Structure 1
Amino acid sequence: MRDSAGGGSAWKIAADLPDPELPVVTIADLGILRDVTEDDQGRVHVTITPTYSGCPAMQTITDDLVATLTAAGYQSVDVEYVLSPAWTTDWMTEEARAKLAAYGVAPPGPASGPVPLALSVRCPQCGSSDTRESSRFGSTACKSLWVCRSCREPFDHFKAI
């Protein structure tokens, strides 16, 4: 039985799993949850795509998926990493972008189409676009550190990939 349409219980359980680095969003919000299948024997197969190769959160996500689905009564849980097609920030839901902004992380713009040149990023604290990049890498490799010139607050910006 295939669950990836979003109607099955294994899909719902996996989709509700928070990201370990940004717990305000789920792995489904981020678009890294690709597929969930379950059968009538209690076996579940979950397919996920890392935000980038070498993402240190993938082992935690795998462990959390196995623990959460096992606690829900599934007998066997297998997690597979799929690297192609590569994850892109375009897979993030609009809800994820709104949650990130509310959490204080500037969400990424679109990654498809012409390569965007970010001269400034809107501050998630005060809304000003008078900002500057302080460091290409923020609290994780998928984020950069920015500073608002208006409110003087630092903030993470989720890079468009």
Structure 2
Amino acid sequence: MNKRAALLLLIIGIFAYGINYGTAFANSIEERNRPEKACSEEFEKYRKKLDDRVLKDIVKSYSLDLSGFQEFTNRELDLKVGDSMNDHSDQISLQHLFVGGSIGSMRLFLENSLEGTRGYFLYKRVDGNNVLKVLNKMGNIWVVMTVDEKKADKLEQKPFNWDKCAD
């Protein structure tokens, strides 16, 4: 009986060691070859190029002039620690626009920054159509006044090749 128990404990010990060794080995390889670290700058260039192509296509399709407009990202609309929701209802009223999918980034342009009264929200739907939402500020709240969608090309782009910079 003691031999069987000892043999069983030995097998369990070897099995446990093998699992832990394999996990530790896999993690070290993953940490060493993380493509995000190796390719982050190159991927940002790739993404910016796509965003620029999308914006150019949308601006052309609507004949927009964005001079005098300032671009805001979703992250810039986030409240900071200590900010009162009542004092920043204009920012909060814009955040819902960034929900959903798009080809490239969704882009928000406001005339005269958050103090202005007019803006555009632009994006390319996943099906390729261009979307323009015209915004007006009423009191402290930004309101979507019109939504216009135009048929457009999908702007096919090759997927980013993470393997090319995995070294």
TM-score tier after normalising by the smaller chain length: under 0.3
TM-score, length-scaled by structure 2:
0.22
> Larger relative CO (CA 8 A, sep 6+): 1 or 2?
2
Larger Rg: 2
TM-score, length-scaled by structure 1:
0.23
